[in-house]
Chain A
Amino acid sequence: MTTTASDSFIRSELIQPAPPPANLVGPWGWARANLFSSPLQIVLTLFGAYIAYKLIWTFVDFTIIRAVWTGADRDACLDEKVGRSVGACWPFIWAKFGQFMYGFYPVEHRWRVNLTYIVALALLLPLLIPSVPRKALNAILFFGVFPILAFILLHGGSIINPWLSVIAWLGTVAAFGLLIVHFVGLSEKALNQTAYGAIALAMVVGGAVAWRVLGLGGMEVLAVAVLFGTIAALAIGAMENRPLDVWLVGGGIAAFGAFVAFALVRLGVFNAPALPVIETRQWGGLLVTLVVATTGIVAALPIGVALALGRRSKMPIIRFLSVGMIELVRGVPLITVLFFATYMLPLFLERSPDAMLRVLVGVSLFSGAYMAETIRGGLQAIPKGQFEGAMALGLNYPRMMGLIVMPQALKLVIPGIVNAFIGLFKDTTLVSIVAIFDLLGGLRAGFTDPQWASPVTLYTGFAFAGIIYFAFCYFMSRYSIFVEKRLNTGRRR
């Protein structure tokens, strides 16, 4: 039996896996599979490689290899002065760099812009990185405190008054809201007509005194009116021996606080510690691009959410106003909105608001209206069962929207939202038609300087602008993909 055993071959162990054939692995194998698998692919690959070579090489050649890096004026960038074919004329950018970044912002105050950037980054980066704790505090700082701080730094003026103004505005709105809450609570207990009338009269008298006699305006009038109304309501409550309503007392305190804050601003008590005012007319360059884009982007979401919900609301007036607002703003080009805000508004108003403010309001409304439709698209995609489920749990409207519907809807439309943001970032260049030089406007003005006019100045400038715009838009795009992947837990494919 031993002989037969030696005749046959029995493998006692598994054969070692052989490496794949050399032409299927490594870079060459990958290239064969993906680039050269068929004649058509070979042609396409070669064509693509040629295009890429042309584009990349031309860009690198122009911006780096043939570029001029130092010089005092156009002579440094002229072919016959340099003795070779010249690419990008970077000294032009260095010379005008301040212009492109800050516009006409005075040189000795540019640290304020830089400081604003630093604070913005310090607050924004932790907000963008999911693992950093204290998101709520961070968000309050970035969306609530930072805008006021940025205003004080960039615009200048009193360091304390803007805070007081914000407190006064919030106080007035809160007091107004609390007064309404008070009435809503009372209406069932049938507050009589005379009392209603007396309170309304008190508000009208207070408002009229504030407006015509004291010469106040806008929110200040409302603050005084609400203060009068609250006092009248308190007095009537006391006369009728009703227990003190907590809402009403809170409203009264808020109204009084708002009144005091407005008075302090009016009387200029805190005018003293102040930075020199830099008019928004003097802002320019990348600063304007960033201010307009950031404001538009930050304002777009809340406006968009409010309008989208308003458009789907069952209350006719709210729905009508939302639809009207969206269609009106979407129906006209941004240029028209800006043009109207800048040149037409002064015809109607005695004292028209600051030009930059008008632009910011225009851009915010515009981006908000577009955002509303994007978000509405997300809301349409939420099945009815989600609403019904939320209602079955006993959630009221704000909770249903805030906890169940909106998170899902917003997640769905992240690409659309970021699309709108990127579009808005580039649309900011339109502000140059309303006499504000943004990055591109400053660049175009720089082209006309005879000290730097040369055949390559134009290309250099646009290459520079292109790099900056690309950096910002690419960052937004990458970040949106990151967020999408993170949130897309249920539908990953």
Chain B
Amino acid sequence: MKRIVSTIALGAAMSFGATMALAQTPGRTTLQNIQAKGFIQCGVTQGLAGFSMPDSAGNWTGMDVDFCRALAAAVFNDPSKVRFSPLSAKDRFTALQSGEIDVLSRNTTWTLQRDTSLGLNFSVINYYDGQGFMVRKSLNVKSARELSGASVCVQTGTTTELNVADFFRANNLKYEPVVFATADETVKAYDAGRCDVFTTDASGLYAERVKLQRPDDHMVLPEIISKEPLGPAVRHGDDQWMDIVKWTHFAMVTAEELNISKANLDQMLQSTNPEIRRVLGIEGNNGEALGLTKDWVVRIVRHVGNYSEVFDRNVGPTTRLGIARGLNALWNKGGLQYAPPIR
């Protein structure tokens, strides 16, 4: 009896191992996988106002979220065919590498390290961010160069901390860092007067400002001391999917450039302008070259909107964040958003 039980246990363990070894991932492309399962798995933040955040009704909102909805619109003609994985800063790259998510649209800064050694590809920059400073108005400071001797509240373990050190050293200014583990603690400490300056990415400064006792007593200084290009990332080794991600963003920018919006889309479909006709897929077959359909841009604009609509809806001046377009304006309006031609 003993021997039989032992043998069965051993056999069970071995057959489990064999099953594990036999199961292989088949060589399908990301797009085929997505079409087979019927939705896009999109990695987002665990809550960042304006970029990805569940609202009170439990719907995800934000710029990063809308980008994934645009992808779903392009692939499925249905912006709801996307599922969101809220990821922490630590786990985001592992989730993408392991195939748990299809695209990482999580407020992630494009750096050489991440682009190369992590096995990822950053596709486009859909938000130009940079690190800024917030101070009390009563401090009467007009520029970050006047901050000599200030104490700075900063979140530890981030590029933010390194950028502050670089900035103050490069400008021969003295400062006293006061570091905290989480963003919430950092803001609370700044609000309680533990330090003179609060620093993080400019978009974050506006989001955190509304948590202060008296938001109007604080101002964001004009200097941006670092480049934080944020954009969606995909896995290495699937260029077709990367093209789709890339051109989805470009389509939204191009739509803004050509004044195609949710509201006037039906008029635009009647347009005689050859460029508009080409973008909307009435002429040519650009969509099919991507592995999508001819009307892919129409789908994106109809369901999600062009770049300015997405920006204004989530972070623009009419929202509580109230961020100006700045660097994210179109190239012909003094910004950096520039899309290669769709032809």
Footprint of B on A, CB under 8 Å? Answer: 74, 78-80, 95-96, 98-99, 102-105, 107, 180, 183-184, 279, 281, 315-318, 321, 339, 342-344, 346-350, 432-435, 437, 441-442, 444-451, 453-455, 457-458
Contact = CB atoms under 8 A, between A and B. Distances in A.
A437 B88 CA distance: 11
Contacts of A315: 2, 5-6
Given A99-B58, A343-B94, A447-B47, A435 B211 contact: no
22 contacts: A98-B56, A107-B58, A180-B4, A279-B83, A315-B6, A317-B6, A318-B6, A321-B9, A346-B99, A348-B23, A437-B46, A442-B54, A444-B47, A445-B86, A448-B53, A449-B49, A449-B53, A450-B49, A450-B207, A450-B321, A453-B49, A457-B211
A350 B50 contact: no
A318 B88 contact: no
Nearest to A435: B85
A118 to B, nearest CB: 22
Given A107-B57, A448-B53, A343 B23 contact: no
B118 interface: no
Residue from A74, A105, A183, A343 having most chain B Cβ neighbours under 10 A: A343
A107 B95 CA distance: 29
Contacts of B207: 448, 450, 453
Nearest to B208: A453
A444 B46 contact: yes
A317 B4 CA distance: 11
Contacts of A99: 54, 56, 58
A346 B53 contact: no
B55 to A, nearest CB: 7
A433 B99 contact: no
B214 A80 contact: yes
Given A184-B4, A343-B91, 19 more contacts: A79-B213, A98-B56, A99-B58, A104-B54, A317-B6, A318-B9, A321-B9, A432-B86, A435-B91, A441-B46, A441-B86, A445-B47, A446-B54, A449-B56, A450-B49, A450-B207, A450-B319, A451-B56, A453-B207
B86 A317 contact: no
B320 A104 contact: no
Residue from A281, A342, A450, A451 having most chain B Cβ neighbours under 10 A: A450
Contacts of A107: 57-58
Contacts of B191: 455
A457 B212 CA distance: 11
A180 B8 CA distance: 10
A320 B45 CA distance: 43
A451 B25 CA distance: 44
A343 B46 contact: no
B211 A455 contact: yes
A98 B58 contact: yes
The A interface, classified by DSSP as helix, strand, loop or mixed, is: helix
Interface string B131-144: 00000000000000
Contact of A455 (B4, B53, B100, B212): B212
B54 to A, nearest CB: 5
B50 A450 contact: yes
Given A317-B6, A343-B94, A350-B26, A454 B100 contact: no
Contact-size category for B: 35 or more
A181 to B, nearest CB: 10
B49 A184 contact: no
A107 B210 CA distance: 29
Contacts of A454: 210-211
Nearest to B59: A104
Contact of A450 (B2, B25, B210, B213): B210
Interface string B1-29: 11011101110010000001001111000
A455 B23 contact: no
A344 B98 CA distance: 6
Contacts of B55: 449, 451
A99 to B, nearest CB: 6
B303 interface: no
A16 B165 CA distance: 86
Nearest to A95: B56
A317 to B, nearest CB: 4
A350 B25 contact: yes
A465 to B, nearest CB: 14
| 10 nearest CB pairs, A to B | A445-B47, A448-B47, A450-B320, A435-B85, A317-B6, A453-B211, A343-B98, A453-B210, A450-B49, A104-B58
A81 to B, nearest CB: 11
A95 B54 CA distance: 12
Contacts of B5: 315, 318
A198 B94 CA distance: 49
B221 interface: no
Contacts of A279: 83
A66 B141 CA distance: 35
A343 B211 CA distance: 34
A442 B20 CA distance: 35
A432 B46 contact: yes
A451 B33 CA distance: 37
A451 B86 contact: no
Contacts of B26: 350
A445 B46 CA distance: 6
Contacts of B98: 343-344, 346-347
A343 B95 contact: yes
B188 interface: yes
A326 to B, nearest CB: 15
B268 interface: no
Contacts of B321: 450
Contacts of B25: 347, 350
A435 B296 CA distance: 30
Contact of A96 (B23, B56, B94, B213): B56
Contacts of B100: 342-343, 346, 435
A217 to B, nearest CB: 9
Contacts of B1: 184
Nearest to B61: A449
A44 B98 CA distance: 58
A434 to B, nearest CB: 8
Contacts of B86: 432, 435, 437, 441, 445
A408 B95 CA distance: 47
Contacts of A349: 20, 23
A482 to B, nearest CB: 38
Contacts of B6: 315-318
Contacts of B58: 98-99, 102-105, 107
B106 to A, nearest CB: 11
Contacts of B327: none
Contacts of A180: 4, 8
Given A96-B56, A184-B4, A316-B6, A347 B99 contact: yes
Residue from B5, B13, B98, B207 having most chain A Cβ neighbours under 10 A: B98
A96 B53 CA distance: 13
B179 interface: no
A281 B211 contact: no
A96 B13 CA distance: 47
B224 interface: no
Contacts of B47: 444-449
B184 interface: yes
B31 interface: no
